[in-house]
Amino acid sequence: MAIKIDNKIVGYEVVKPESAEPKPQAAPEPDVEHMHERFKRPEVLVGATYKIKTPLSEHALYVTINDVVLNQGTDHELRRPFEVFINSKNMDHFQWIVALTRIVSAVFRKGGDCTFLVEELRSVFDPRGGYFKKGGKFMPSLVAEIGDCIEQHLKSIGMMESDELDEHQKAFIAAKRAEIDGGKPETPSANEDGNEQGYPAGAQLCGKCSTKAMVQMDGCMTCLNCGDSKCG
């Protein structure tokens, strides 16, 4: 079929056979699976159990958090919390513990960022007063300690960054602690304040790590546990 060209020809190019062939398309990216509320529970889940022993009860609580592994075996593999269970011989708190576990599990399955749960739970205060757990860390309530367990778990699976001190910070705090103790070696026994970490007697409660380890150093209140300083 002849085609009439009315306009002036300003250039031309010969079509080569190889240029007429379609270019091969890149392989499609694999679908990345995310957590969502319609995600079907696998038959087997992996998880961890944390023991909570408080002075409020003679029976311990056991917090179990199960995780689901998304995109297993790929570069996009993720481990995300899926459900939480709390078990104890003490039935005094049975109703609100069951309600709490169901709500937290629902937030886990919703997907997205669930780290806000830690701060929300740790902000709950018992009107009867809190308690110091083993190691000298203050817990304002049993709910706050459950939040502390969730925080430990989220850090272990990589959803929250660990706030552990680096080697230089540990060395600095150890040197300052030895200076306050007068060069005496550290002892694991509790001091007169009941602090099992052996921090100096009269140490104040740190607002950041909730440990009685805040002492006066170099004219500034500094925590011997987490390194937090009032002077920045």
What is the rounded distance in angstroms from the CA atom of residue 161 to the CA atom of residue 154? Answer: 9
The mean pLDDT of the chain is 82
User: What average pLDDT does range 43-66 have in this prediction?
Assistant: 93
Asked whether 210 and 202 are in contact (CB, 8 A), the reply is no
Query: What beta strand segments (E) does the chain contain?
Result: 46-52, 61-70, 78-88, 131-132, 138-139, 204-205, 212-217, 220-223
Q: What is the reported pLDDT for 203? A: 81
pLDDT at 8 over 90: no
Q: How do residues 140-155 score in pLDDT, each as one tens digit?
A: 999 999 999 999 999 9
Q: How far apart are CA 180 and CA 41, in angstroms?
A: 54
What pairs with residue 67 in β-bridges?
46, 81
Q: Is the pLDDT of residue 88 over 80?
A: yes
pTM: 0.65
